[in-house]
A and B are shown apart, each in its own frame.
Chain A
Amino acid sequence: MKFPVSFSRQEERAAYLFILPAVISLALFTFYPMINAFIISFKEYSLINPDSTFIGLTNYKDLLADPKFISSLVHSFHFALVVIPVQTIIALVMALLVYKSSLVSGLFRTAYFMPVVIAMGVASTLFKLIYNKDFGLLNSLLHSVGLPQVAFLSDTKLAMYGIMLLAMWKSAGFFMIVFVAGLNSIPSDLYEAAEVDGATRLQKFFKITLPLLKRTMTFIIIITTMDAIKISGPVFILTAGGPADSTTTSVYFIYKMAFQQMEMGYGSAAAFILFVIVMFISIIQLRLLKSDVEY
């Protein structure tokens, strides 16, 4: 039996050839910079000077004692803790409203999805105008219904919520679509059977829809968590980390250290601490949300 061996070898070779481009690009653009960054994180490394010195764990030790880094982590987690549940619920509600296809639902799906298509830079610039304390759209609306002004851009206690609102407005539509896909994959005979047994709408939602959405939910929560902890885009444009650093998130802190203050080593070390934190959270989430429902 010679033929199958050489055939499988040939197959193997072809397989390697097929994955080669992916492996090369991963190695070149992901693993090489990552390993390099890991090495830099142990160095005193100025952005504009190629000469650098190894300083062991000093960067990591300094970071853990740096109140600005700690508070940037707190800001990122504050953001994540609010955005993950609120955004997921909003996305689910929107999905429930539009998942059955009809002419109107198509219109609303498009409308809800629209913010996802808009570039973050454009959206942030628009929100900057909308949030303006005296002349922004938001405060004009609040004023016209007799509510007090909200200074999303200049109140240190509120600024983070301004960023959250923008981020949720921007990405809820995307997760809505994911939920719609999840909802449509639930077999309709389950609902029919439940109806025969006399289940109410609420019972159907909690006993059938939610359990069967668990896998979709896992995906959404993990992705939202990672997105939330690395939030930085709207921070750049809307508040530039201000007022008084109240919206400086971890990624924005890393950017500031590495590129504004030119301390590449320090910034890389901060990036690695963040990486480890994100990885641990994701692994824990995966364990907790392990789906045991099969259908």
Chain B
Amino acid sequence: MLRLRRSMVVLLIICLGIMVLSACSSKKSNEPGSSEGAASESSASASQEENKGDGKKIEIKYWRHDFAPEVDAIKKLIKTFEEKNPNVTVKMEVIPYGDYETKIRTALAAGSPPDIIGLDGPTLAAYAHQDAVIPLDKYMDMDGNKEDIAAPVLESLTYKGKIYAAPLNDASIGMFYNKKLFEKNGIELPSKDPQQAWTWDQVLKAAQKINDPANKIYGIDPGWGLGEGEGSTFVKLPFIWQAGGEILSPDGTQVKGFLDSPESKKGLAFFSSLYNEYKVAAKELPPEAFETGKLGIIVNGPWAISGFATSHPEFKLGEDWDIAPLWKDAKQVTPNGSWNMAITKGSKHPDEAWMFVNWVTGVEGAKVWYQETKNLPARLSTASAFPELSEYPMNIFVEQSSKFAHPRPVTPAYPVVTSSISKLFADIGVANRDIDEAVDEAVNTIDRALQKIK
């Protein structure tokens, strides 16, 4: 009796143990699915011909992450597109930002991806390297007006000489500051001229004057806190570039001698000093600290202008806060690159998919996109079509992205790069680790990932 019971308990334990794994493995059973995907691919061109022939409706699936103003803009563009192309319908699926990459990746792994996916700039090389998305060069040459796309943007979308995505918009960041806190502490306001960016030293001095932790007022949040995520890496990388450092070699194959160069370390040391030596940056901030007047200086992008206007209408641009160009050190550098549209290899209708991609990201679509979302345009024709883009505050972002933009490294190992970089900044910021030691660890992790690609 006792033995039997014991063996039952052992069985129970094994089953529960299995549950540890099944949580992770439930999405992995994809081998039959993927062979199916390959089969449907080979017949793709055939079915496409058929569809054109008998005038059947073609459905294009498009997945993107959730962000209300952009989703609304896409809905409008889908409507006009379907009016113009009655034989094609576009089905958009909107996925919460946090789940987006995982959902796309599992769909690709299962061999049932949508035709078009929203692609964040730096993940492009990983998708291209794994043949998950198709090169768009032939379409770009046909009717994509690629000479109209800003050169640094195009560069960030090119992997091994081929263009893999069409840009929805570009992105840049500036120094957002609380005007009232500056005036209260008698600090001279920074210039709005992109050529007159503040130096690190000026930023530090201002932050020191504002910082008043006893009254819960903090000087600066230099890079969106110390958490993980691509947004966080995007705003932190400039510290390394501004000091004259680099993450990877220009061809994206080497990390040793770049991330661990004295210049890179200088940028990291400055970032760390804000938290640990001068203590002008807080390791933890209340939510919406800047909008509620508890934070002197932050970095943010043009998307935040309308964001603050809706969430905190009492916090007014020009009265309570203003935008200055992003600070500089040895060099003036700003990050660039944003979300794009790419066509998956599994798509059965790549030609129709391109028609829609070009409808949204082409010369005319980009103008609608700008009007609806106020995102920094990736096309030169859009930039010149709207006078407000050459006025404050948008002129700061436009000028920065054409003169000082630096694309993030293009490498299939980027997922490892971004997580190592955010870990590195957290190590030296919040954990106050020795910089050499933390850099060595990041370099080793990235190096191992780069070796795997070759």
**Chain A residue contacts of B109, Cβ below 8 A:** 47-48, 50, 264
**Chain B residue contacts of A44, Cβ below 8 A:** 452
Q: Is the CB of A29 within 8 A of B24?
A: no
Q: Interface majority SS on B: helix, strand, loop or mixed?
A: helix
Report if A50-B18 is in contact (Cβ < 8 Å); known contacts: A36-B28, A133-B284.
Answer: no
**Considering the chains assembled together, what is the distance between the CA atoms of A68 and B30 in angstroms?**
28
Q: Is the CB of B17 within 8 A of A37?
A: no
Q: Is the CB of B284 within 8 A of A153?
A: yes
Residue of A nearest to B413 (CB): A261
Whole-angstrom distance between the Cβ of B400 and the nearest chain A Cβ: 29
Whole-angstrom distance between the Cβ of A178 and the nearest chain B Cβ: 15
**Cross-interface CB contact of A242 among B228, B285, B415, cutoff 8 Å:** B228
Contact with A along B6-41 (1 / 0, CB 8 A): 100110011111101111111011110011011000
Q: Is the CB of B17 within 8 A of A271?
A: no
Q: Which of B124-132, B164-172, B330-338, B368-376 contacts A (4 or more CB under 8 A)?
A: B124-132
**Chain B residue contacts of A50, Cβ below 8 A:** 30-31, 34-35, 37-38, 109, 111
Residue of A nearest to B1 (CB): A294
**Cross-interface CB contact of B419 among A222, A251, A256, A274, cutoff 8 Å:** A256
**Considering the chains assembled together, what is the distance between the CA atoms of A50 and B28 in angstroms?**
11
Q: Is the CB of A37 within 8 A of B286?
A: no
**Chain A residue contacts of B16, Cβ below 8 A:** 223, 226
Whole-angstrom distance between the Cβ of A34 and the nearest chain B Cβ: 6
**Chain A residue contacts of B268, Cβ below 8 A:** none
**Cross-interface CB contact of B127 among A48, A156, A246, cutoff 8 Å:** A48
**Chain A residue contacts of B283, Cβ below 8 A:** 151, 154-155, 243
Residue of B nearest to A129 (CB): B287
Whole-angstrom distance between the Cβ of B226 and the nearest chain A Cβ: 6
Q: Max chain A CB contacts within 10 Å: which of B25, B284, B433?
A: B25
Contact with B along A143-159 (1 / 0, CB 8 A): 00000000101111000
**Chain B residue contacts of A46, Cβ below 8 A:** 130
Report if A243-B431 is in contact (Cβ < 8 Å); known contacts: A46-B130, A260-B101, A260-B415.
Answer: yes
**Considering the chains assembled together, what is the distance between the CA atoms of A113 and B228 in angstroms?**
34
Q: Is the CB of A37 within 8 A of B24?
A: yes
Q: Is B297 interfacial (CB-CB < 8 Å)?
A: no
Residue of A nearest to B108 (CB): A48
**Considering the chains assembled together, what is the distance between the CA atoms of A242 and B423 in angstroms?**
8
**Cross-interface CB contact of A274 among B20, B108, B111, cutoff 8 Å:** B20
**Chain B residue contacts of A230, Cβ below 8 A:** 20
Q: Is A117 interfacial (CB-CB < 8 Å)?
A: no
**Considering the chains assembled together, what is the distance between the CA atoms of A155 and B283 in angstroms?**
8
**Chain A residue contacts of B21, Cβ below 8 A:** 33-34, 37, 271-272, 275
Q: Is B416 interfacial (CB-CB < 8 Å)?
A: yes
Q: Is the CB of B22 within 8 A of A30?
A: yes
Report if A222-B452 is in contact (Cβ < 8 Å); known contacts: A243-B226, A245-B423, A251-B20.
Answer: no
The interface size bin for chain B is: 35 or more
Q: Is A102 interfacial (CB-CB < 8 Å)?
A: no
Q: Is the CB of B10 within 8 A of A278?
A: no
Q: Is B88 interfacial (CB-CB < 8 Å)?
A: no
Q: Max chain B CB contacts within 10 Å: which of A44, A153, A240, A242?
A: A242
Report if A267-B415 is in contact (Cβ < 8 Å); known contacts: A154-B226, A242-B226, A244-B226.
Answer: no
Whole-angstrom distance between the Cβ of B144 and the nearest chain A Cβ: 25
Contact with B along A222-265 (1 / 0, CB 8 A): 11001001100000000011111110000100111011111010
Whole-angstrom distance between the Cβ of A191 and the nearest chain B Cβ: 26
Q: Is A209 interfacial (CB-CB < 8 Å)?
A: no
Whole-angstrom distance between the Cβ of A28 and the nearest chain B Cβ: 9
Residue of B nearest to A287 (CB): B6
Residue of B nearest to A280 (CB): B17
**Chain A residue contacts of B111, Cβ below 8 A:** 50
Whole-angstrom distance between the Cβ of A129 and the nearest chain B Cβ: 8
Instruction: Give residues 67-106 of A contacting B (CB, 8 Å).
Output: 67-68
Instruction: Give residues 265-291 of B contacting A (CB, 8 Å).
Output: 282-287
**Chain B residue contacts of A153, Cβ below 8 A:** 284
Report if A261-B25 is in contact (Cβ < 8 Å); known contacts: A44-B452, A48-B132, A67-B441.
Answer: no
**Chain B residue contacts of A283, Cβ below 8 A:** 10, 13
Q: Is the CB of A134 within 8 A of B286?
A: yes
Q: Is the CB of A33 within 8 A of B25?
A: yes
Q: Is B426 interfacial (CB-CB < 8 Å)?
A: yes
**Considering the chains assembled together, what is the distance between the CA atoms of A162 and B201 in angstroms?**
36
**Chain A residue contacts of B126, Cβ below 8 A:** 48, 262
Instruction: Give residues 102-138 of A contacting B (CB, 8 Å).
Output: 132-135
Q: Is B51 interfacial (CB-CB < 8 Å)?
A: no
**Considering the chains assembled together, what is the distance between the CA atoms of A273 and B38 in angstroms?**
33
Whole-angstrom distance between the Cβ of B238 and the nearest chain A Cβ: 21
**Chain B residue contacts of A49, Cβ below 8 A:** 130-132
**Chain B residue contacts of A23, Cβ below 8 A:** none
Q: Is A268 interfacial (CB-CB < 8 Å)?
A: yes
Residue of B nearest to A276 (CB): B17
Q: Is the CB of A244 within 8 A of B108?
A: no
Besides A48-B132, A272-B21, 8 other A-B contacts (C-beta < 8 A): A33-B28, A132-B284, A134-B284, A223-B16, A229-B20, A242-B226, A242-B228, A243-B226
Chain B residues packing against A (C-beta within 8 Å): 6, 9-10, 13-18, 20-26, 28-31, 34-35, 37-38, 101-102, 105-106, 108-109, 111, 126-127, 130-132, 216, 226-229, 282-287, 415-416, 419, 423, 426-427, 429-431, 433, 441, 445, 448-449, 452
